[in-house]
Amino acid sequence: MNYLFVLTLIFTVNTSIKKLVEIPITSKSQVYEMNKLKVTIVSVTDQCIQIIADDDELRTLNNSGFSYTIIFNDYREPVKKLLEKGTYHTYETLVQELDSIAINYPAITKLDTIGYSVEGRPMLGLKISDNAETEETEPGIRFTGCHHGGELISAEIVLYLIKQLTDKYSTDSYIKQLVDGRQIWCVPIVNPDGMYSYSRYNANGVDLNRDYGYMWGWDSPYPFSQPESRALKLNAEMHSFTLGFDYHSVANIINCLWDYTPIRPNVDTIMLDLAKEYYDSASYIDTIMHGCDWYPVSGSCQDAMYGCNGIIDYTIETPQDADPIPVCVSNIGAMLKMIERSGDIGISGIITDSVTGNPINARIEIEGIDWPVYTNPYTGFYHIALLSGAYTLKISSNGYSSKEITNIIVDSSVTAIDVPLILNNKYYVNKLVTITYTGNSNKTLSPALLGPEDDKSFSIGTGGEVVLDMGIPIKDSFTVYEGIDSTGNEGYEVLVSNMWQDSFVSLGVGTGTTTFNISVTGLSEARYVKMIDDGNVSNYTTPGFDLDAIESYRAFGITEKNNYKPNIMICSNPVINNLAIKITNSNEKNITFKLYNLAGQLLIKDIISEGQPNFSISTDKIPSNIYFLKIEGRNWATTKKVIILH
């Protein structure tokens, strides 16, 4: 090896070590100035800001007129010292602990690998519930820790909850009631590689709590760029939690929505009410704050959990003392209270197809809050936490007519509203996948782009970008509707893909309301639509394209080529190991079965010939998830949703 090269290498390594520094401030506005410099702020008080920065970043700070004091030359030092004391779990000992809990309490736990870190370490999620192996129609709640690998206390708090729930299940009737009535998911270590290397960041050097896709702000390579944040997104979508609590360690604060904007969320009242209950039970907490008032952050977990999925998600900041137990103890009462509150007041129910009775994916909105929660994809179950009052409920699902139910009275218990929906074969945006934050440009609220054209629109911001999930792959043409509130037609590019993260193919540009045809791309269908504003600066009150709705005329599989179709029944759905199909009224020579995953990839193709009324496909090697089974004959095709659950 060349000597110069070695020197260069050492130099590079040395400068990349980040320091923990403290910067005195005289006004909160200095936080906003510092945020513009894109340094990693880890905590803010009235007197000072603590940041993690390398030498280059410190020079930038100096040039911008900030003076600082170095607290640690390597910001990971205090974490290393803490681990040497032996009072905290390491990644390995915590994994062992989770393993033995799952072995000791098989009836009420399910240990799942929800994903893998950059370096391939498993991200473990422990589900605690009666019948833990089954997805039940019960409200869900999630507790997560260690987004920042050095914040060891956050993993300890979640582990402490796990131990309390499992150890006391058979002797404590309150805990038994909580475990039996809820689906509780615990992910103590979101960032295994970071914990392993005492680092705030994951192995790609990314701050995971800046990588989430709702109002993502260029603090990571792209929205959901890291496997760890993607895993947490998928886990939330598979289990539809009512509440989420994400633990961190730099302060004594309950940090509420939003992190990206000082504007209060529509769900503010119930969110603050629950935060107050947490505060009252956890003596160490100094205050409840809206995240952005503390310091603004784009791309946080809590913003995406609510923004995209309707989960009321909190960031709980805790102290990291030498002894973790007192902090764990001071949180446990509040955590149990929140498990109780995640399902003891509000509206619950199951949304089904009016003909088949099968559960369907639906969006549920409360008039006045106007932010969707989503049904559990396995069971069609939903739960919305609400305070006492009278509410109007709106249920929408792709391909089905929406339904509105007025004057639902919620008192001190749960009101049950089950709703069957009727097919209408119209398809609109079902869910927001990602959106970039373009500052003041994103003035309107994102749920306005969901569902049909309704004169409510969402401004995607000058140069802004959105990725939208149509729910199922759409075919042929679709129309993008521009909102009527803008003063003129604005320009944008439209792209489509069957993967939400990549492989987007351009359909060209549009101005105002425009119809596009997928076939120009060579794709036969696409599930995701990306829209990029043309970046032209306008003086409109809502800059950037104002998206009202996307409507698809023909949907994947639902449209039959003629009226003839045999009866096809899936014998058990969810499917465990064998997808069994029963066919009657068939005069077909050959019937083709194609099983697709949610990304639209073909997994299994099989053809059966005449006179085989029963047929089965082995699914034991296919991971638990939702799939589409496309069944095609000579002149017809149909698609059924299949849930594989092991």
Q: Could you list the residues that contact Zn ion (CB under 5 A)?
A: 148, 151, 248
> How far is residue 413's CA from residue 397's CA, in Å, rounded to a whole number?
26
Q: Which is nearer to Zn ion, 142 or 248 (CB)?
A: 248
Confirm if 275 and 317 have CB atoms less than 8 A apart.
no
> How far is residue 233's CA from residue 309's CA, in Å, rounded to a whole number?
9
> How far is residue 194's CA from residue 161's CA, in Å, rounded to a whole number?
22
> How far is residue 455's CA from residue 483's CA, in Å, rounded to a whole number?
6
Element (H, E) at 94: helix 91-104
Q: Which is nearer to Zn ion, 320 or 441 (CB)?
A: 320
Is the sign of the CA dihedral 585, 591, 592, 593 positive or negative? positive
Q: From the CB of 309, what's the least distance to Zn ion, in Å?
A: 21
Q: From the CB of 317, what's the least distance to Zn ion, in Å?
A: 8
Long-range contacts of 121-125 (CB under 8 A, 24+ apart): 121/91, 121/192, 121/193, 121/196, 122/95, 122/192, 123/187, 123/189, 123/190, 123/192, 123/228, 123/231, 124/95, 124/98, 124/187, 124/188, 124/189, 125/185, 125/186, 125/187, 125/235
Q: Which is nearer to Zn ion, 127 or 200 (CB)?
A: 200
Q: From the CB of 148, what's the least distance to Zn ion, in Å?
A: 4
Q: From the CB of 249, what's the least distance to Zn ion, in Å?
A: 6
Confirm if 153 and 324 have CB atoms less than 8 A apart.
yes
Confirm if 74 and 17 have CB atoms less than 8 A apart.
yes
Q: From the CB of 207, what's the least distance to Zn ion, in Å?
A: 9
Segments of 57-213 assigned E as strands: 69-72, 109-116, 122-128, 140-144, 183-187
Residue with nearest beta carbon to Zn ion: 248
Q: Which is nearer to Zn ion, 128 or 153 (CB)?
A: 153
Residue 75 DSSP code: T
Q: Which is nearer to Zn ion, 237 or 313 (CB)?
A: 313
Q: Which is nearer to Zn ion, 138 or 151 (CB)?
A: 151
Q: Which is nearer to Zn ion, 148 or 630 (CB)?
A: 148
Q: From the CB of 555, what's the least distance to Zn ion, in Å?
A: 42
> How far is residue 424's CA from residue 534's CA, in Å, rounded to a whole number?
34
Q: From the CB of 196, what's the least distance to Zn ion, in Å?
A: 16
**367: exposed, middle or buried (Cβ count in 10 Å: 0-12, 13-18, 19+):** exposed
Q: Which is nearer to Zn ion, 251 or 350 (CB)?
A: 251
Q: Which is nearer to Zn ion, 208 or 507 (CB)?
A: 208
Sort residue 224 into left (φ over 0), alpha (ψ -120 to 50) or beta. left
> How far is residue 153's CA from residue 327's CA, in Å, rounded to a whole number?
8
Q: From the CB of 49, what's the least distance to Zn ion, in Å?
A: 15
Q: From the CB of 248, what's the least distance to Zn ion, in Å?
A: 3
